[in-house]
Structure 1
Amino acid sequence: MSAKAFQRTTEVFISRHASPQEQSRILAETARKGVAELVASRRASPQYDRFVDGIRGAPEVTVRPGGVIAYQFQYMGEIAAFAWAFLRQRAPRKTGTYQDSFWFSVDGRLISPRSFDPAKVEGAKELIIFNRQPYARKVDVQLVGAGRLRFSVPAGIMDDAAAAVRRRFGNMVTARRLYTVRFPGAEHAWTGPRAGRLLEYPAVAISVR
């Protein structure tokens, strides 16, 4: 059995006296039990494609004696949905503007919140989630110079989101906070010592191991 995040191969001992039908049955049963254990232990996603002797979607019982049953797990969509939900839950909700402004960069391709679909990120190698609001850094660090800002939620939303992803999916992906990201439409500071410079937009970066 194989997955994008790891590989696990199981060799099954079958008596040479077993009939071809019995050999196929044993292989199929072993494969089904193995993938069920991986999913139950959260070492693999419940979303996967099955290949039996190279045929996608074929039932396990159709495997030939000595054949191969492989599972290709799809998990980036599930992780993206989890991270997005975490960020929205932690976001300030005074107006809902910040909460509704989390965008995705999927292998460099931007996806808006309105267009987000977990199926669109399956197979991605890197997922970045950031907030397009110009005050995104203030919400994250809640500091201006040495002065502390007050929000209705704790500081560190991006670090906490990355930590939550690592706790749940750390065997499949890495997750870290990015200092800032660049994207079309990013705003510049208008006043102060950073006037004219691009604002900072912290993000969470999730990459396949």
Structure 2
Amino acid sequence: MRVSAKVETIDRDIVLRLVGDDADRSRQFAAYAREALVEAQEVNRRATGQVPTHETFVDGRRGAALETVKPDGTIVFEFDLLNDLFEWIGLTLMQHSPVLSGRYQESHLFFADGVEVEPGATLPEAQEYSFVNAQPYARKIERGQSPMAPDGVYEAVATLASRRFSNVARVRFGYRSLPAGSIGDWAKTTNMRASQNSRNRPGDKRFEWLTRQPAVVITLR
């Protein structure tokens, strides 16, 4: 799936100003499109700190040469911004992770509507994407109980990502339940008590509370 920002270079006033035969007008249109592309790349670079990848569509044809555009046709540059956002968050979580055994750093998982997405897999369409850590002690780290991450990890990264990619998506810190793996095993055996008595009663509500993990949550604007 591609969630992208499109830069439509077609402008009827531009078309009317093109001169010469069809071949000349197509070349002029292509030159104008290249200028628009450079401007769009610079806007994205200033906004996100990098130039995102893009695909070109000329009169609806993916990857066609710009000069093949019809004088009254369209050229669209489609920037893939969402993958850049996810890559940046994943890398920044790694960089901010406290490292002792390495398990916490290696346990950042990525989900689309609560379903784990394996690294390198095609990005599915979803209402919500999230990064969640699979280690039971992730909540302690988030509370600043690791000397290597006194300000936590997930909330800090969510704040940085929100500032950097505010034009792409809504990024926020939250908690998401992760009932599988070591989190689920721990939740089934722990005697940890909550300040709210309702959460201490056996059942789904208590299990959901015990398996809630710090998360970076991303929704599309």
Please state which band the TM-score falls in when normalised by the shorter chain: 0.7 to 0.9
Question: Partner residue of 1:204?
Answer: 216
The structure in which a higher percent of residues are helix is 2
What's the CA shift for 1:128?
0.7
- Equivalent position to 1:60, from 57, 66, 70: 66
Aligned residues of 2:98 and 2:149 also touching (Cα < 8 A): yes
* 1:73 matches 2:79: yes
**Matches of 1:169 and 1:24, distance apart in 2:** 35
Aligned residues of 2:55 and 2:79 also touching (Cα < 8 A): yes
SS at match of 1:154: coil
Percentage identity across paired residues of the two chains: 30
**Matches of 1:137 and 1:109, distance apart in 2:** 21
**Matches of 2:36 and 2:125, distance apart in 1:** 23
What 5-or-longer segments of structure 1 have no aligned partner? 143-148
Question: Partner residue of 1:116?
Answer: 119
Q: What TM-score do the two structures reach when normalised by structure 1?
A: 0.81
* 1:83 matches 2:120: no
What's the CA shift for 1:26?
1.6
The 5 Å alignment of 1:73-152 reads: 73-111=79-117, 115-117=118-120, 120-121=122-123, 126-142=128-144, 149-152=145-148
What's the CA shift for 1:150?
4.1
* 1:164 matches 2:176: no
SS at match of 2:177: coil
Q: What TM-score do the two structures reach when normalised by structure 2?
A: 0.77
Distance change >3 Å, CA 17–CA 151, structure 1 → 2: closer
What's the CA shift for 1:155?
2.4
What's the CA shift for 1:109?
3.0
Aligned residues of 1:76 and 1:123 also touching (Cα < 8 A): no
Aligned residues of 1:50 and 1:72 also touching (Cα < 8 A): yes
**Matches of 1:84 and 1:16, distance apart in 2:** 46
Aligned residues of 1:28 and 1:63 also touching (Cα < 8 A): yes
User: What is the one-letter code of the residue matched to 1:205?
Assistant: V
User: What is the one-letter code of the residue matched to 2:216?
Assistant: V
Question: Partner residue of 1:146?
Answer: none
**Matches of 2:127 and 2:37, distance apart in 1:** 23
Number of aligned residue pairs: give it: 197
What's the CA shift for 1:57?
1.1
What's the CA shift for 1:125?
5.6
Aligned residues of 2:15 and 2:29 also touching (Cα < 8 A): no
Distance change >3 Å, CA 17–CA 24, structure 1 → 2: closer
